Chains A and B, each alone.
Chain A
Amino acid sequence: MVAHDKKRLGILLVTPALIFTVVCFLLPVLALLLDAFRVGGPDSVDGAALHWGVDRFVAFFSEPLNRQVFMRTLRIAALVTLFSALLSYPAAQAIVRVSPRYRGLVLGMMILPLMVSPIARTYAWIVLFGRNGAINSILLQLGLADEPQRLLFSEMAVFVGLLQLLLPLMLMSLVSSMENLSRDITLAASTLGANAWQVFTRVTLPLTQEGLIVGGTLVFTGCVTAYVTPALLGGPKVLMLETLLYQKVSVESDFGTANVIAVILVAMTLAVNAGLKRISSSRSST
């Protein structure tokens, strides 16, 4: 086949998907994001003329509640990312050492939670943390509490729920990057006198950096854009950006603020993605 024809066929094959993505996805989302910068206009409250600007963002961040939600989202996402990495490193190390016989089983156990509906996964924590839940009945029976404690609708509940939801992503990224790391290298380091901590910080960590970055991005953006878990375990009191967005639209029909949150969410995920690309490209060039 002639190179020219091949090129034409290539274009032909990607065209349907390209048109679909642009028309049905990119344009509606871009219109949504642009709306956040459109201020005033014929149906505005004070009759101001239509213009473009960041007024809506200034208004959004001048509200203490919104600032609080923004900071809470960052804080929870950072904590979940940190804890998932701390737990995943030793766990991933154990997984790559599992004998091939049980490997499928272990990988299956890792994937299963990812395939189960987030509602079913989050629901377990409602059962555990609820007023008549397992933790409260244990506390009461042991005499550690006189009345049921309020465990649900707290930042702690959201943190635990998100950690369980997203930990498998970090685990999978670290397992795949550790598989490429030969066992001989760490063995050589310890033979040459490095202690376990030195082996980890000077050998394992730099060589699995890629997996850590990919896993960290997935977990962080997963936290920022999660809806079900914060909605069910945080309730209306512990709002995160995505639950605030939903509330603005469905309860208050406040599309203006929703657009602003949309821009913030996209900016956050883009920033994390760009940071990832930068770190991994600077690593491969050195």
Chain B
Amino acid sequence: MKEGLFSRAILWLVFLFLLGPFIIVFLAGFSAGETLAFPPTSYSLRWIFEVLSAEEFQRAFQTSLEIGLLATVVALLLGVPVAYAMSRMPPPGMGAIKQILTSPLIVPAMLVGLGLLRHFVLLVDAPVFLGLLIGHIGLLTPYAVRVVYASLVNLRVDIEEAAITLGASRSQTFFLIVLPNIRSAVIAAFFLAFVTSFNQVPVSLFLTGPGISTLPIEMLGHMENSFDPSIAALSTLLVLFTMAFVLVTEKVLGISKYM
């Protein structure tokens, strides 16, 4: 059992390496000092309140929320039909279609942002918000397809055929039989896509401008010209928020099944 002990020890080291830094962010986030130092000399909620009341962070948070929700909903509306078609009625040329639809996963995200900026925003003079939204939708659609497809493959076709034999139309079958059965996969896809959009940096880098900035981009900008612990405080809030989110979704949906 010596070997088992060794791998357990490595596992603990890996978890320490992966999760330990969060504790450091927490401690720095509750610092009372003027500038970032570790370990902090004293602790307070000062910077937590500071970032919660900062107008630029509030605005960026709202933009991130809007983009995340809108992009996720559109990505699901585009992706779920594709997943359904792929698993039940593959159209001719499915291989090529799959290649095209999953290409956003292979192309580095920053190029999507740059491509949209140059050949969409600058050339067609499209609004920046629209460019940002489109970039996020493109990124999230493959996630939606993949997660929902995985659960459709595991769903038995018999029950749909039974419904059709009993006189239901295709759309009735989909909304009354299929959708309720893949509900948890759709919700999991929603959460995954939303988190991906909310944390997204490279796509947004070139597509945010004066007045429109997402939370991660605003954080990066703030870091460039300030050394106060506000980003630590904001990161603390984000980590706590994500922790609650992951715990709840893992308990309710078992999100790890879809990753």
- The residues in B between 68 and 110 inclusive whose CB is less than 8 angstroms from any CB of A are 77-79, 81-82, 84-86, 88-92, 97, 100-101, 103-104, 106-110
- The residues in A between 56 and 109 inclusive whose CB is less than 8 angstroms from any CB of B are 87-88, 90-91, 93-95, 97, 104, 107-109
Contact pattern, B 19-43, Cβ under 8 Å of A = 1, otherwise 0: 1011011001000000111110000
Say whether A6 faces chain B, with CB atoms less than 8 Å apart: yes
A136 to chain B, nearest CB (A): 9
B88 to chain A, nearest CB (A): 8
- The residues in A between 202 and 240 inclusive whose CB is less than 8 angstroms from any CB of B are 224-225, 227-228, 231-232
B138 to chain A, nearest CB (A): 4
Q: How many Å lie between the Cα of A266 and that of B82 in the bound state? A: 25
Majority-rule SS of B interface residues? helix
Interface band, chain B = 35 or more
Q: In the complex, are the beta carbons of A91 and B24 less than 8 A apart?
A: no
Q: How many Å lie between the Cα of A124 and that of B19 in the bound state? A: 10
Q: In the complex, are the beta carbons of B118 and A128 less than 8 A apart?
A: no
A48 to chain B, nearest CB (A): 22
Taking CB atoms, residues of chain B closer than 8 Å to A133 are 37-38
- The residues in A between 171 and 225 inclusive whose CB is less than 8 angstroms from any CB of B are 171-172, 196, 224-225
- The residues in A between 10 and 46 inclusive whose CB is less than 8 angstroms from any CB of B are 10-11, 13-14, 16-18, 20-22, 24-29, 31-33
Q: In the complex, are the beta carbons of B18 and A168 less than 8 A apart?
A: yes
The chain B residue sitting closest to A9, CB to CB, is: B89
- The residues in B between 212 and 256 inclusive whose CB is less than 8 angstroms from any CB of A are 216, 219-220, 223, 231-232, 234-236, 238-239, 242-243, 245-247, 250, 254-256
Given contacts A22-B100, A137-B39, contact A17 B18 (CB under 8 A): no
Q: How many Å lie between the Cα of A196 and that of B216 in the bound state? A: 46
Looking at the complex, which one of B88, B103, B134, B246 makes contact with A26 (CB distance below 8 Å)?
A: B103
Say whether B63 faces chain A, with CB atoms less than 8 Å apart: no
Q: How many Å lie between the Cα of A125 and that of B22 in the bound state? A: 10
Taking CB atoms, residues of chain B closer than 8 Å to A31 are 115, 118-119
Q: In the complex, are the beta carbons of A28 and B120 less than 8 A apart?
A: yes
Looking at the complex, which one of B89, B101, B235 makes contact with A6 (CB distance below 8 Å)?
A: B89
Say whether B111 faces chain A, with CB atoms less than 8 Å apart: yes
Taking CB atoms, residues of chain A closer than 8 Å to B198 are 117
Taking CB atoms, residues of chain A closer than 8 Å to B57 are none
Looking at the complex, which one of A25, A88, A104, A127 makes contact with B28 (CB distance below 8 Å)?
A: A127
Say whether A120 faces chain B, with CB atoms less than 8 Å apart: yes
Q: How many Å lie between the Cα of A261 and that of B231 in the bound state? A: 31
Please count how many residues in chain A sit with their CB below 8 Å of the partner chain's CB atoms: 84
- The residues in B between 1 and 25 inclusive whose CB is less than 8 angstroms from any CB of A are 3-4, 6-8, 10-11, 13-15, 17-19, 21-22, 24-25
Taking CB atoms, residues of chain B closer than 8 Å to A11 are 85, 91-92
Q: In the complex, are the beta carbons of B21 and A121 less than 8 A apart?
A: yes
Q: In the complex, are the beta carbons of A111 and B259 less than 8 A apart?
A: yes
B78 to chain A, nearest CB (A): 4
B247 to chain A, nearest CB (A): 7
Taking CB atoms, residues of chain A closer than 8 Å to B89 are 6-7, 9-10, 13
Say whether B201 faces chain A, with CB atoms less than 8 Å apart: yes
B175 to chain A, nearest CB (A): 14
Taking CB atoms, residues of chain A closer than 8 Å to B4 are 94, 97
Say whether A134 faces chain B, with CB atoms less than 8 Å apart: yes
Extra contacts besides A90-B7, A107-B256, A227-B202 (13): CB < 8 Å: A14-B97, A17-B81, A20-B78, A24-B134, A25-B112, A29-B115, A94-B7, A107-B250, A119-B231, A124-B24, A127-B25, A134-B38, A228-B216
The 10 A-B residue pairs with the shortest CB-CB distance, nearest first, are: A124-B21, A28-B115, A120-B235, A10-B89, A10-B91, A90-B7, A225-B108, A13-B85, A94-B11, A13-B81
Chain B residues within 8 Å of A, Cβ to Cβ = 3-4, 6-8, 10-11, 13-15, 17-19, 21-22, 24-25, 28, 35-39, 77-79, 81-82, 84-86, 88-92, 97, 100-101, 103-104, 106-112, 114-116, 118-120, 134, 137-138, 141, 145, 164, 170, 195, 198-199, 201-202, 205-206, 216, 219-220, 223, 231-232, 234-236, 238-239, 242-243, 245-247, 250, 254-256, 259
